[in-house]
Amino acid sequence: MEPNAVGVASGAVPPQGGRGGEDHMGRLIEELDYRLTDMGPLILRRRWVAAIDQDVVEVILGDEHLMSSLFTVGEIELAVRGLAAARGDGLRVLVGGLGLGYTARAALANPRVASVEVVDALAPVIEWHRAGLVPIGDSLGQEPRCTLAHGDFFGWFDAPRAEGERYDVVLLDIDHSPRQLLHPDHARFYTPEGLGRVRESLTAVGVFAMWSDEGPDDEFLAVLAAVFPAARAEVVAFDNPLTGGASTCTIYVAGRAEA
């Protein structure tokens, strides 16, 4: 479904404690789902944005604005650029962070990808995809090449993986940046030790790519380059209809093999 045509799908999980109301422009704000989680209130909502005269779907966690269907270029480019750096076919992909599903769907669109495993710490987000509450419908929940797993991405690499269980590509989109974290516990991941565990979970020519809402961080890039033989930061520009100008994000791409 298109972002401005999202509705509560037939058979979908009904909102739990959801609330509806009208904004100051007299247009509807609809909560598609409301859940209390260990990380705070989690809301999936559809909101009419006056500046573009469209509905957008948003994910809110506590005070954090996690995702909007208005801005998906960065999520898509994470998959596109991460996979472009990978070699071979039959790729096994791990995605950290489900959100509205644009990264996972972009990965599945690549014919070189054999499977996509998505890990998300918030079980309701997985339910939304299986129920078709998100703008892309139930395409991920029904896709046989895609597995949606409830779990902690940052603890996913604590145990060593056997050769046949390693990933060709790992894509991460959870925190706002290596410094702007959703939870303090995530900080251990952005260290030589944490990134080293990711490297050891990749195949010999595997690739790790990560989205950030901030510009290139030279200090983090240096840590990344100390762990991976090839590491770079790519700035992605995209149209921002709210400002009438352009916004940017950063995609970090790092490989176990020299580029």
Q: Quick one: pLDDT band at residue 17, thresholds 50, 70, 90?
A: very low
Q: Kindly list the distances between the CA atom of residue 63 and the CA atoms of 41, 43, 94, 98, 182, in Å, as whole numbers in the listed order.
A: 9, 11, 27, 19, 10
Measured CA to CA, the distance from residue 66 to residue 41 in angstroms comes to 12
Q: What is the mean pLDDT of residues 99-105?
A: 96
Band (pLDDT 50/70/90 cuts) for residue 4 is very low
CB 153 within 8 A of CB 201: no
Rg (the chain; Cα; Å) = 18
Question: Rounded CA gap, 65 and 43, in Å?
Answer: 10
* Mean pLDDT computed over every residue of the chain: 88
Short-list 201, 236, 207, CA closest to 107? 207
- 73-255, superfamily in CATH? Vaccinia Virus protein VP39 (3.40.50.150)
Residue for token pair 């809110």: 60
Q: Is the pLDDT of residue 3 over 60?
A: no
- Which region holds residue 80: left if phi is over 0, alpha if psi is between -120 and 50, else beta? alpha
Any idea where the domains of the chain sit in the sequence? 3-68, 73-255
Query: Which tokens go with 80?
Result: 């596109």
